[in-house]
Structure 1
Amino acid sequence: MRMRPTLSWTPTEDLPAGTTDLAPVADALRAGGVLVLSGAGISTESGIPDYRGEGGSLSRHTPMTYQDFTAGAQARRRYWARSHLGWRTFGRARPNAGHRAVAAFGRHGLLAGVITQNVDGLHQVAGSEDVVELHGSLDRVVCLSCGAVSPRRELARRLEAANPGFEPAAAAINPDGDAGLTDDQVGDFRVLPCTLCGGILKPDVVFFGETVPPRRVDHCRTLVREAASLLVLGSSLTVMSGLRFVRQAAEAEKPVLIVNRDPTRGDRHALTRILLPLGTALTTLADQLGIPLDDHPVSRPQA
């Protein structure tokens, strides 16, 4: 279960200090079998803010919880109005150097896989394959009644037609694709049902307060078990959905390496925490390993 974001975590003084020495990460990549676990921090250089870093969105925005979403029509109206507006920007975000570096490491056979806590799809757009989307993806919509899954772009077109002239100015775009709107800006935004059964539509993402599907968790645990090391990129590891894999790797005495400028909840389990920005760290690693980055990422459907 993803905990409510208001349950914050405060780092303690006994955590190891960070460093700018990339040598342990380079060594792990050269050895191969590295499992990547990425968080919101890897997408900040693509214009998508993170939750808890400097200027993180939790200081001004509380993500929708599953309980709130299912509790009533007005909460869903607010969510879909804000998410529809945010999708226009969010869906056009492009992979940054960090995403391209991860894809390049995968192409050169250095990775055991990629698990991402993000819902932006940017790893796949950059060319990474077999990415496990731990919290789902905003590219898809699921019906809570019949379970049908459909492309988000189809719903976006329907919502555009049902809400002509809906062009409020958003205060900000958040990591979950939600835009900052007031209730007055939401107005009487029209929410649309499933075209197959008339049921409630929800983005195919794991909301805070919702449980990650057990089969997905089991698959991730298998990846950790089969990996040689775990490389955490841009995650504070505040919620258990990602931290459990760090703990699993540490218990199995596999090296845990973290690239995150702020302290994380997993630092006590890590061989090292790199303080560098992700784009800088990962492109430097690619250069040290003689791996070129692909400047032509896979195209994605327009939002």
Structure 2
Amino acid sequence: MEYFTIAQSMVSERVCVLTGAGISLASGIPTYRTAAGAWARSDPITDQQFKQSERMRARYWGRSFVGWPLAERAQPNETHLTLAEWYRNGLINDCITQNVDRLHQRAGLNQSIDLHGRLDRVVCLHCGQFTHRSQWQQVLADTNPFLVGLTAEFKPDGDADLPSEWIDQISVPSCHRCGGVVMPDVVFFGGNIPKSVSEQGLAAVRSCDLLMILGSSLQVYSGLRLCKLALDHGATVIVVNPGVTRADALPCVFKREPIETFIEHVKAALRAGVT
């Protein structure tokens, strides 16, 4: 499919965008996958592990404490800003993201559907109290002052590698209101997307004529499911990703190029007089 045709569809049809980690790479946030589609790390903490194991919670919060400042400082890049502009101008109708970095919202696309939650707040699993992640950072610092000033290699979603001897020293704070377990407001591996969020995403895809998938390998089934749903409903699906994807055998249009290149080509087509 030519970029001019894509631009024409954006003007005349209902368009939904699904974004993955690849669009935030230019903001300094690493992706989970290599170009070949393999995991960049082999030990993600699962939903069950976090909820059942104090040791796993210590590991998560220690690494998150070191990685969070970098995630917090990340700024929306040109792709985020362009998608927000397209939304304001009616060129896209819905945006669904697999990312938890909230960079779509910070770019001005406040209506983005956060399929896998949001990293900028935590929630008590017992009483449901929400706390901003920056406030929780201070709680972690007060409880574990030895973590302050530590640095480590930055990983996806505000994670960082820490030696096991540091993790052994970490004390995990509880909810200040009820003493319950506090968890980041994100969907861990093995966890469930909230029903209301899932329904929003499904409705957006069912109603679109064109689904543009930007920067996702679709290895996580929640994204692949939306891709298949769009195809089942007769929509055109464009997958923009430089590496392999789980949808490679499906009848999609593939653009094997950087997200930024695709965005610039479409912007040029729009400027050429499609609108």
In the superposition, the TM-score normalised over structure 2's length comes to: 0.92
Partner of 1:29: 10
The gaps in structure 2 that reach 5 residues or longer are: none
1:1-303, aligned counterparts within 5 Å? 21-54=2-35, 58-166=39-147, 167-170=149-152, 172-290=153-271
Return the letter of the residue paired with 1:160: A
Shift of the 23–281 alpha-carbon distance from structure 1 to 2, 3 Å rule, reads same
Higher helix share: 2
CA distance in 1, matches of 2:199, 2:120: 23
Q: What CA deviation, in whole Å up to 9, does each residue of 1:224-258 have, x standing for no partner?
A: 12222111000011121111111111011111111
In structure 2, what is the Cα distance between the partners aligned to 1:253 and 1:66?
35
- CA spacing shift, 1:283–1:259, aligned 2, 3 Å: same
SS at match of 2:155: coil
CA distance in 1, matches of 2:58, 2:75: 28
Q: CA deviation at 1:56?
A: 7.7
Q: Which amino acid aligns with 1:194?
A: C
CA drift at 1:160: 2.0
Q: Which runs of 5+ in 1 are unaligned?
A: 1-18, 292-303
Q: Aligned Cα RMSD in Å? A: 1.9
Count of paired positions: 271
TM-score, structure 1 length as denominator? 0.84
Percent identical among aligned pairs is 40
> What is the CA–CA distance in structure 1 between the aligned matches of 2:202 and 2:41, rounded to whole Å?
34
Q: Quick one: distance in 1 between partners of 2:166 and 2:19?
A: 34
How far apart are residue 269 of structure 1 and its match?
A: 3.4
Which amino acid in the other structure matches residue 133 of structure 1?
Answer: D
Residues 259 and 278, structure 1, Cα contact 8 Å, conserved in 2? yes
Task: Give the Cα–Cα distance (whole angstroms) in 2 for the partners of residues 24 and 266 of structure 1.
Answer: 22
CA shift in 2, pair 1:23/1:274, >3 Å: farther
Per-residue CA deviations over 1:264-284 (Å, capped at 9, x if unaligned) read 122333441112211222133
Q: Does the 8 Å CA contact 1:98/1:283 hold for their aligned counterparts?
A: no
Which whole-Å CA distance do the structure 2 matches of 1:187 and 1:229 have between them? 50
1:190: Cα distance to partner?
2.3
CA distance in structure 2 between the partners assigned to 1:237 and 1:185 by the alignment: 34
User: In structure 1, what is the Cα distance between the partners aligned to 2:186 and 2:132?
Assistant: 13
User: CA 1:226/1:115 → structure 2, altered by over 3 Å: closer, same or farther?
Assistant: same
Residue 79 to residue 192, structure 1, CA distance change in 2 (3 Å)? same
Q: Is the 8 A contact 1:114 1:131 kept in 2?
A: yes
Q: Give, in whole Å, the separation in 2 of the partners of 1:135 and 1:89.
A: 20
